[in-house]
Each structure stands twice: as structure tokens, then as C-alpha cells.
Amino acid sequence: MLILSRKIGQSIVIQAGNRKIKLIMLEQNNGSIKIGFEAPKDIKIYREEMYEEIVKQNKAALESDVNRLGKIKTTIPKLVKKDKKQNT
Amino acid sequence: MIKEYETKLGSVKIDTERTIIFEYGIPGFEDLKQFVLLEPEDTYPIMWLASLEEKNVAFPVTFPQLIRNDYQFTLPQDLTEYLELDKTEEAIILSILTIPEKEDEITINLAAPIIISQKNHKGVQYLIESEEYKIRHLLKEELERSKVILSAQKDGE
């Protein structure tokens, strides 16, 4: 693991191929650090624990008990099914 | 072009135009790019976001507004551009359900909705940065909450 020390106001640049991500150390208080990001639009930046939560929940959703659906759907408010638009 | 695919709900014939491309994948399933939204009558309004590449992968999904009737969030501009959305109606917004054996424990993920563009047939799972919406809301509680809001609105009329 590469370890760098940075002060407030300083930055880190990560270059992957021809793409650059810049992390700017903005503020520090009570043991937490505020970081700003500059990155190409298609790069998604997540808090690790949130991303891991989504992964966990997506995997749990796959284990859903298909046989119970009939009963559940009756508890969900009725919805008038619209005619699907024909894509031409 | 109609092609036949094996999905978790059996084999389905799909017009390839209905394929939804998740270029960035779905968290935990980053290698799967091609999905389709299956809407079988017998489970509707629960639908299935089914992988066309991995037949055991299909997420039960539904419209979040049915569960939380005041659900709303704003999509950032980079995402509306990526999905080529000019109006809200061009997007299909879905929430993933987790359905364990006990009915009282069914949860809906309101923090990370699936957003599908009807314009360019691309999809993403988007994380809403809000205290209001969590990865796990009990379906039962949400439905109760929506009922209360609805009856309050009716009383106000």
C-alpha cells in the first residue's frame, strides 16, 4: 500500500490511463476529514460502507422467496396498468 | 429481433430492443451488463429485473411510489445527461425488494433505486444521499405510513 501524508489544502492526483481523479483535503475536525473530488463524470464515488450495504442488500434480494409473491402483491395498492408504448 | 433467453423465471422470448444496458453494472453484479424488465401478470406490481447473461440473477422490483407515496429525489445532471432524460416521465424508477420467509420482514431499498431510461435503454442503480431514505425499509411500515398520508389528504379535501 502506498501511503502519503497530506495537509489541509493539499491534493492527491490519481491517474488511470488518460483519466485523472483529484482528491483535495478540505477540512479536518474531530478526527474526520472532508475531501473534495474532481473526476470524470462517469466515475462513481461512494462511501465504502454505503456501497457495501447496497451490495449486501442486492445479494439478499436475489434470495427472495418467489413463492410468497402472490400473497404480498395483494398488500400493495392496486395500480392501473398502462398500455405499454410501442417502441418504433 | 426476438431472441429466447433463459432467466430465473424460465425461458422468455424478448425483443432485443427491450434490453436494458447497465454499463456500470449493479453493485455486487458488476460483470452483468444486460438486463430486461419482466412484468408477469401473476406477480405484478412486483416485476423482475432479470439478467440476460446469468439466469439465476433476477431482482424483484416495484414502483417505490406505491410503497411510499411521497417518494421523491432529484437526479444529478450528469446522470440525466447519461440517461438522455428531458422529462421525468422518460425514466422508470424502481426499488429492489428483499422477500424473506416471514412476510413482516420484507424490505424495500429506497436509498438506491434502479433508474432506467426509456430514451436510450440504459440503466443505473443510483445512491440517493439523503437521511430520509435507507437501504432497508420495512414494507409493512411503509404501507401503513402511506395509508396515513392518504387518509389525511382525503380529510383535507
Domain assignments of chain B as residue spans, ordered by start:
1-153
pLDDT (0 to 100) of residue B93? 96
What CA–CA distances, in Å, run from A53 to A12, B14, B28, B123?
27, 32, 10, 20
Q: Is residue A45 part of a domain?
A: yes
| pLDDT tens digits along B3-44 | 888 887 778 888 888 899 999 899 999 999 999 999 888 888
Contact A76 B67 (CB under 8 A): yes
pLDDT at A83 over 60: no
Candidate from B67, B98, B125 with C-beta closest to A64: B98
A72 vs B36, residue with greater confidence: B36
| pLDDT tens digits along B34-83 | 999 998 888 888 999 999 999 889 999 999 999 998 899 999 888 999 99
Whether domain B1-153 has CATH 2.30.290.10: the reply is yes
B155 vs B124, residue with greater confidence: B124
CA distance A15 to chain B (A): 20
Q: What is the pTM of this model?
A: 0.83
pLDDT at A79 over 70: no
Across A33-37, B6-10, B118-122, least confident range = B6-10
CA distance A10 to chain B (A): 26
Give the torsion sign (CA, A37, A40, A42, A43): negative
Candidate from B46, B100, B127 with C-beta closest to A69: B46
Chain A residue with CA closest to B146: the answer is A77
Residue A85: its chain B contacts at CB < 8 A?
118
pLDDT (0 to 100) of residue B114? 97
Share of chain A above pLDDT 90, in %: 52
pLDDT (0 to 100) of residue A87? 40
Number of domains chain A is built from: 1
Contact A65 B100 (CB under 8 A): yes
Residue A71 domain boundaries: 8-82
Residue B122 has phi, psi (to 5 degrees) of -105, 155
pLDDT at A16 over 80: yes
Q: Using omega within 30 degrees of 0 as the cis cutoff, is the peptide bond preceding B45 cis? A: yes
pLDDT at A88 over 50: no
